[in-house]
Chains A and B, each alone.
Chain A
């Protein structure tokens, strides 16, 4: 599925704002720093293109605004007036969810003795554990995923995938264009 062009446009708009910040300090940075800055600006731009409607975008913006490096700068630049509003929302949500997670993880290991294990129970236990393991991995991939329950995790993942695709398309176009210019 092609990412909608409106999303791309929005992203591009905001990204250019962020890239301006990059360019101002471009001379002083090493290439890896630049890469990180570019990536960060792209991520924040993509997240802001979501306008705070999705949880992952809020989480991304929240984490970026806490970041010392350039995150805050990007966030302020790109989000503009929305900056404070969105970051407040993000951090408050995160705090709540942190507490939930702490509570959950405190006393969870339950050991059961399986004296008699029918086939199906074994199968289901295996399958459940496989699913759990993969869910954990997915939560670590999606920004802010650790705070979500599984249902919303899937939704967020889908949205995140779409956004990533749009972001990749835009970035690839820009990269191609600039490289082509450089080569000429």
Chain B
């Protein structure tokens, strides 16, 4: 690789994984917000590509600096298709941008680290790189709605974020989009299109999309391969328009930019392992890089596109939130986002609580199932002592002696009575109802009324339950008088 001037890529402290994984909005956002001042440029930390290719990609972009472009172009690192390889390795080597960081982390942890530093080099021109990227027929599994991507060239440079096409049409739509995006712009600096679409996505759809595979970028077919070589060193990109496409310079430029951005996005998507599975930490890293797009006036457009991108790809909300808050350098935006998400936090709490309760029910039923075969759950032999305060205090101790007689002998009524008397003084346990208790219950406890019919010690209750309407067992639970 050619030596280039290295940009300072601020590599912050490695991310605390837990911090990322937890719903700590403030923390993350603050972390992320400290990054912008560092203003690191290189995005390479997010690249896991084989070094040369990734470098080429990046630097190809970097090289294309044009005087006019103010806004940051979307230097999204797009995934390189493995099978196709980069068609422009030859093109790129010599214009590595100064300052490009050539280090490539090889595992995902560095992506997390990327959160800590603003990596994404928002360099201006992305035009000719699209040529290179376009040449690769990447597997287009993204859900970009390409039709929407043919936006007007907006004056702001924005990150072209592949937005989610409706539901499952991602691949289908990418095909026509691909043919669309084949052209490269002839002129160097053109603002990127905003591929942001505001879509109302339901979480179910998001999950679908997650599973659907890679994101984003549409790759054009091999169109401007030759032009890319020319484009390397020149300030202008010669783009060959495909048949049937508008040759207007603006649209070509748009298309080129889009393609470049999409290529970057796809590259990025491939870099992040399991990106479809939405590991929050990974995405935060990605988003941290993406946030570099939004340096200027296009900042919030970029961030909206970023958030759309994130949401449509099923990124965790927190990641999206951090990205959005991050890309907007405004503090009021941050606070606004944090305020609004209070509802989300509350809902989170509720969800966690319900889930934990349900889990407890499962566990307890498992416990009972384990015990069950050895315990006769016949109502007449089951004593359950319960009352409000009884449960807290000495319930086990109290219940055990109460239930003990049941197990020993069903016919042991004498023992019953003694036990029962014994406990009468202290507690008034709930009678789970043996019939034999009937005898001493009524005289003993005015509080206890146990209506049991047709209950003898061991009868199976189901068939008997239905006899003659007498089978209602009503347990009246005594409340502890303490």
Verify if A34 is at the interface (C-beta below 8 Å from B): yes
Q: Are B347 and A134 in contact (CB under 8 A)?
A: yes
> In the complex, which of the residues A27, A110, A131, A182 has the most CB atoms of chain B within 10 Å of its own CB atom?
A131
Verify if A120 is at the interface (C-beta below 8 Å from B): yes
Verify if B85 is at the interface (C-beta below 8 Å from A): no
Interface string of A11-47 (1 = CB under 8 A from B): 0110011011111101100011011111100110000
- Cα–Cα, bound, A39→B382 (Å): 18
Interface string of B338-380 (1 = CB under 8 A from A): 0011011001101101110110111011111111111111110
Q: Are A171 and B368 in contact (CB under 8 A)?
A: yes
Verify if A157 is at the interface (C-beta below 8 Å from B): yes
B296 to chain A, nearest CB (A): 15
Interface size of A in residues (CB-CB distance below 8 Å): 82
Chain A residues near B347 (CB, 8 Å)? Answer: 131, 134-135, 137-138
Verify if A88 is at the interface (C-beta below 8 Å from B): no
Q: Are A168 and B399 in contact (CB under 8 A)?
A: no
A27 to chain B, nearest CB (A): 7
A-B contact count (CB 8 A): 270
- Cα–Cα, bound, A170→B384 (Å): 9
Verify if B456 is at the interface (C-beta below 8 Å from A): no
Indicate whether A114 sits within 8 Å of B304 (C-beta atoms), given known contacts A5-B477, A109-B200.
yes
- Cα–Cα, bound, A169→B361 (Å): 9
A contact patch SS: helix
Segment with Cβ contacts to A, from B202-210, B213-221, B264-272, B437-445: B202-210
Give 26 CB contacts A-B under 8 Å: A2-B388, A13-B474, A16-B377, A17-B379, A19-B379, A26-B373, A38-B365, A38-B369, A39-B362, A112-B197, A114-B308, A115-B194, A115-B301, A123-B336, A126-B311, A131-B347, A132-B203, A136-B203, A138-B351, A160-B354, A169-B391, A171-B368, A174-B384, A179-B371, A181-B404, A184-B404
- Interface on A for B, CB 8 Å cutoff? 2, 5, 8-9, 12-13, 16-17, 19-24, 26-27, 31-32, 34-39, 42-43, 77, 80, 108-127, 129-138, 141-142, 157, 160-161, 164-165, 167-182, 184
- A9-B476, A111-B197 given; 17 more Cβ-contact pairs under 8 Å: A13-B475, A23-B376, A35-B365, A39-B361, A111-B199, A114-B304, A117-B303, A122-B300, A123-B336, A124-B336, A131-B341, A135-B347, A141-B354, A164-B357, A168-B360, A178-B371, A180-B399
